């Protein structure tokens, strides 16, 4: 018996070829899709926002308190549902820069996963971790006519 397969000597049927092409295309399409799916980590939910870092905050609306030697990192008072302790998070530069969380951490988990609800002079705001490249929420611009 010849160890060469019949497929090599007789060719491949059109049906088999189409099946293989389809399977290859499915794999090629699925790989980038699966790697691009953003699944929020459980650690990024409200539980990670609790605790109390000894960074020096006392009241929700006091002067900026840089922490970890990073001026883009500020000591914030957490929302009451996060325990109200202190946490070093991204320095919010202006009111409305990030999503608001008037109802607490649940708002952040829904609107801006991975952020913590903190108390600021602007009210409660969803604030990302220090050193993130998180973009501010988008604001629609009104069209102007001449």
pLDDT in tens, 76-90: 999 999 998 999 999
Q: What is the pLDDT of residue 126?
A: 96
Please provide the size of the chain in residues.
Answer: 146
CA-to-CA distance for 35 and 22, rounded, in angstroms? Answer: 20
Kindly report whether the global pTM for this prediction surpasses the value 0.75.
no
Residues with Cβ within 8 Å of residue 79, at least 6 apart in sequence: 101, 104, 105, 116, 117, 118, 119, 124
Cβ pair 88, 51 in contact under 8 A: no
Residue 112 buriedness (CB in 10 A; 0-12 / 13-18 / 19+): buried
């Amino acid at each position: 018996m010849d160890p060469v397969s019949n497929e090599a000597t007789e060719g491949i049927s059109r049906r088999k070829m189409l099946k293989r092409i389809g399977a290859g295309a499915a794999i090629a399409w699925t790989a980038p899709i699966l790697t691009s799916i953003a699944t929020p980590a459980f650690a990024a939910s409200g539980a990670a926002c609790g605790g109390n870092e000894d960074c020096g905050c006392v009241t929700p609306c006091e002067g900026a308190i840089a922490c970890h030697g990073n001026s883009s990192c500020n000591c914030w008072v957490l929302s009451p549902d996060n325990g109200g302790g202190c946490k070093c998070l991204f320095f919010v530069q202006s009111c409305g820069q990030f999503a608001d969380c008037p109802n607490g951490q649940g708002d952040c988990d829904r609107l801006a996963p991975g952020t913590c609800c903190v108390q600021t002079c602007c009210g409660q705001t969803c604030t990302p971790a220090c050193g993130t490249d998180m973009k501010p929420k988008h604001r629609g611009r009104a069209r102007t006519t001449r």
